[in-house]
Structure 1
Amino acid sequence: MSGQRVGRRVFLRGAGGATVASVAAASVFAPSTTGQAQAAPRARKKSTAATFRWFGTAGWRIDIGARTLLIDPYLSRYSTGMFDGKFNPATELTVDTETIDENVGKPETILVTHSHWDHFNDVPYIAQKTGARALGTMTTYNLALACDVPSSQLSQVKGGEVLDFGAYTVEVVASLHSRNASYSVAFPGVRLSRPEKPKTVGDLPEGDTLNFQVTLKDGPSVFFMGASDFVERNVTGLSPDIAMIAMQASGSTYDYAERVITALNRPSVIVPVHWDDFEVELDNPPKPDPSTKPHMDDFIATVQKISPRTKVVVPEYLTPYQFG
């Protein structure tokens, strides 16, 4: 069964029986009912209004009333040859200021899962222009310093922190980066001190990986991944209402989808991310990354098997969704 694209708004219902969210013309979507309920429904509180927009890859914009939070905002999307089999690590870092300015709003906080270019590339520009605070690993901190972001706008985190921003809290979860078919991480390494200003994609190492759980005040909790691996013990017990789960990059990680869905206690909504070709423009429908395995149909089938009551929302670029 293939995932259906979802239109403008999707509402999380703790007692819903949907497996794949279906399209409707109105703002509330009638779910398909392909599986019998097995997971217990979540108790829901009165929800804080929030709108989510997918930037592609693992990137998100979250508007909570008049406040804006970004996660891994990468909008420049230039070619490195990655999807043509001609990847060039010497590709010059490029910032598409026009596209960024049109889409990021006025963020106050930027959460960065790790420092590869498809997650970090646009962060320094956004932070400098908007004054937003960027939170990430020590590597992210030092690379941002090297890109002339003031230290007063940077916060180094490593996992275990629970930070209160008033309208929302952010729990930082130490995690792992996905591995390729050779069981290796692309561009490994850390930056424990301020380096020279990065100029190429190869100058941006992974630098450790984080996940974030954002909980809206009196609203849903949302788990965000930036890469398709995780530390099972670190996420067990988080039990988010919504999980933005990175699609598996290779088969190197054992039972990845099954384990992460189970460890997160079968979220009511799962949104697959990091499955698109992020070197083309933000045109809908998104073009899949041909190397992503398993493919979307297989991922959805796994969700149906592990958690029949979970709704799978396959996102489109820059489309406003509401969960809550």
Structure 2
Amino acid sequence: MAGTGAAAPPATGRGGPFSTPVRLRWLGVAGWEIVIGGDRSILFDPYLSRMPCWDRSGGLDPRLPLRQDRAVVERVADVHLAGPPELVLVSHGHFDHLADVPQLLARPDWRRARIRTVCDETVRHLLTALGTPPTRVADVIQVTGGEYLQFDGYTVEVFRSLHSQFPDHGYFAPGRLIAAPDRRPDALGDLVEGDTLAFQVSVDGGPRILLMGAGNFVERELSGIRPDIALVPMTSHAAVHRYVERLLHATGHPPLLIPTHHDDLTTPLGLAVTGSTPVGSPAARELSRRAPAGSRILDPRHLEAVDVDTVLG
């Protein structure tokens, strides 16, 4: 019965080995780089700045100013990323998903590459308001969920999704835009959610990877997809009924589960911010408790490359 969350082993025939090499790199928060065949890449929610965002009580403060660390964005792009991406996938408009995308799209070193951005209408308007070069905005692929996009060597499926919720069922900076704001956004709360999206990237001869930007989802949207790898946001989901169990059941218990969006958002990349111990981070331990036998849990570290075949082989 759909939605029961009953434990089951991953389906046979999934999890490789693959003829096309794929490498994953965690960029912190929900951000990932997918490198296909060694030299082609896709970025998902690339947020590198780690700007101040917490108030004294430990909550997200929408009044705090946007203070991107442009130097760290350039350093990570130069040292760690594979080069200009072919696609930037953006799940929603919040600062910890979108704020650094305009700078990345405007990098002089990447100016000769065509970079498409896949996002909803709100994010497209926020990109304009944040000063993204008009040529890059013109290359936006605006989606709503339901699209199944063919690219050279891979496909991208777009799913309607939901934002994670605080224990009292609210969440940070809701809202939608139908036009670009009159002024440049200058506070965290100016970057509103829009419509949250999830994506499945399926590489020809390689894995199917489920990408989510928040700890919630629309079960009927994902039911029946069969990713080899699920990047599972472990941000606040206490108000979401059986979040992990329902997600794994809907997606057929992916062979590889990787927790994401479970760091502190502010400590600089490269430092230990996930609470990792010899037995793994709290997020990885939670996934291990809730996943069925046969699922593999990978506890990621910031900026470290993960070879998919090595992990699943």
Give the TM-score band, short-chain normalised: 0.7 to 0.9
- Residue of structure 1 equivalent to 2:286: 298
Change (3 A) 1:174 1:82: farther
Q: Residue 103 of structure 1: which of 61, 68, 76 is its match?
A: 76
CA contact (8 A) 1:173 1:235 kept: yes
How far apart are residue 80 of structure 1 and its match? Answer: 1.7
Look up the equivalent residue of 1:39 and give its one-letter code.
P
CA contact (8 A) 2:149 2:156 kept: yes
Look up the equivalent residue of 2:70 and give its one-letter code.
T
How far apart are residue 231 of structure 1 and its match? Answer: 0.4
How far apart are residue 295 of structure 1 and its match? Answer: 4.9
CA contact (8 A) 1:127 1:153 kept: no
TM-score, length basis structure 2:
0.84
How far apart are residue 275 of structure 1 and its match? Answer: 0.7
> What CA deviation, in whole Å up to 9, does each residue of 1:180-210 have, x standing for no partner?
1111121110011111321110101111100
| d(CA) in 1 for partners of 2:247, 2:235 | 11
- Residue of structure 2 equivalent to 1:88: 61
Alignment size in residue pairs: 282
Whether 1:68 aligns to 2:55 is no
CA contact (8 A) 2:159 2:198 kept: yes
How far apart are residue 238 of structure 1 and its match? Answer: 1.1
> What CA deviation, in whole Å up to 9, does each residue of 1:222-263 have, x standing for no partner?
001100000001001111000001114041110111000110
Structure 2: gaps spanning 5 or more residues: 1-6, 78-82, 277-281
> What CA deviation, in whole Å up to 9, does each residue of 1:117-154 have, x standing for no partner?
00001011111223522211110011111123223132
| d(CA) in 2 for partners of 1:78, 1:112 | 19
Secondary structure of 2:265's partner? coil
Identity of aligned residues (%): 36
| d(CA) in 1 for partners of 2:55, 2:211 | 24
How far apart are residue 88 of structure 1 and its match? Answer: 3.1
Q: Residue 129 of structure 2: which of 122, 146, 170 is its match?
A: 146
- Residue of structure 1 equivalent to 2:152: 166
Structure 1: gaps spanning 5 or more residues: 1-35
| d(CA) in 2 for partners of 1:320, 1:147 | 30
Whether 1:270 aligns to 2:241 is no
Runs of 4+ in 1 over 4 A off after TM superposition: none
- Residue of structure 1 equivalent to 2:244: 257
- Residue of structure 2 equivalent to 1:133: 116
- Residue of structure 1 equivalent to 2:167: 181
> What CA deviation, in whole Å up to 9, does each residue of 1:89-112 have, x standing for no partner?
222212222222232332221100
How far apart are residue 170 of structure 1 and its match? Answer: 0.9
How far apart are residue 79 of structure 1 and its match? Answer: 1.1
TM-score, length basis structure 1:
0.82
How far apart are residue 45 of structure 1 and its match? Answer: 6.2
Q: Show the 5 A alignment for 1:1-324.
A: 38-43=9-14, 44=16, 46-64=18-36, 65-82=38-55, 85=58, 87-104=60-77, 105-129=83-107, 130-131=110-111, 132-149=115-132, 150=134, 151-195=137-181, 196-288=183-275, 295-303=283-291, 307-324=292-309
CA contact (8 A) 2:62 2:173 kept: no
CA contact (8 A) 1:114 1:210 kept: yes
| d(CA) in 2 for partners of 1:37, 1:93 | 44
Secondary structure of 1:321's partner? strand
| d(CA) in 1 for partners of 2:285, 2:11 | 25
How far apart are residue 87 of structure 1 and its match? Answer: 4.1
